[in-house]
Homo-oligomer: A and B are copies of this chain.
């Protein structure tokens, strides 16, 4: 039995991943979730560990259990990493580095036999402008946020630990996940989901940027699928470049809103109120708008091609009963 650890397993993506694993036949007792806390109505996994990876000994203890497959999703979100410089670097880089060292100690202790697959959720925030119209797979990482810099630094560690054979890792640069269920979070990208989710639930939503803003999206369902696909991939096919730009959908906020109008009608759209926020505008202005993810597509990663599908997926998986 492949034993799976999901670090950050209490978060939205971690929960989606756990449910997908269960839905596709993974036995519940093969899965361990670790996070600061868990939602009360979460995925039906018994082995839930409440803890804090920034206590480095906790990560080392988990590493000593020698899981076969480790998903590293634990992270402070972009807005929080930007607001709290210390917390960002100490939460988004230090624990990953210490955990990789702990895995390497297990590798050594087993005479090199233990080489776990590790799948890390990176982000398109590793990029910074100016951008070409579509970002290619060989475009430089020049992050303009602390969050992006932390994710890029983690990618470098994962690549080097993998190159040395201590782990078999990869980093997935997720598009902005949309529509996120639940409540807004401190990510600067939170509104991309909010302007769809809140109106569909009969609530007002604030749009803090112009509707001409173009961005790169994939659904939570795609995110979970990316992660399970990555776990089974032959990493030799990555040819030493273990960070991947994933497929997604490029669209403007206006196109998002028109898709919402098509799916749910004019009255729902009227719940969106434009209220410019300079801080969010400045952060979002530095974000990628479109990609040409040739490598990931060739490796079998897939995402949505129509924003209406993204809305329908939200309604099917998380939305209010219609």
Pick 12 A–B contacts, CB within 8 A, sort by A.
Answer: A85-B164, A128-B240, A128-B241, A138-B139, A141-B141, A141-B156, A143-B156, A143-B159, A146-B164, A149-B156, A149-B159, A149-B160
Residues of A within 8 A of B (CB): 85, 128, 130, 132, 137-144, 146, 149, 152-153, 156-157, 159-160, 163-164, 239-241, 243
Q: Which residue of B lies closest to A137 (CB)?
A: B140
Given the known inter-chain contacts A85-B164, A128-B240, A241-B128, please indicate yes or no for A159 contacting B142, CB distance below 8 A.
yes
Inter-chain contacts of A149 with B (CB < 8 A): 156-157, 159-160
How far, in angstroms, from A89 to B224 measured CA to CA in the complex?
A: 33
Residues from chain B with a CB closer than 8 A to the CB of A130 are 239
Neighbouring B residues of A164 by C-beta, 8 Å = 85, 146
* Stoichiometry, copies per complex: 2
Q: Looking at the complex, which one of B132, B139, B156, B241 makes contact with A152 (CB distance below 8 Å)?
A: B156
Known A-B contacts: A141-B141, A142-B159, A143-B159. Give 20 more (CB < 8 A): A128-B240, A130-B239, A132-B138, A137-B140, A138-B140, A139-B140, A140-B140, A140-B141, A140-B241, A141-B156, A142-B240, A142-B243, A143-B156, A143-B160, A144-B240, A149-B160, A152-B156, A153-B153, A153-B156, A156-B156
B contact residues around A132 at 8 Å (CB): 138
Closest residue of B by beta carbon distance from A88: B160
User: Residues of B contacting A156 with CB < 8 Å?
Assistant: 141, 143, 149, 152-153, 156
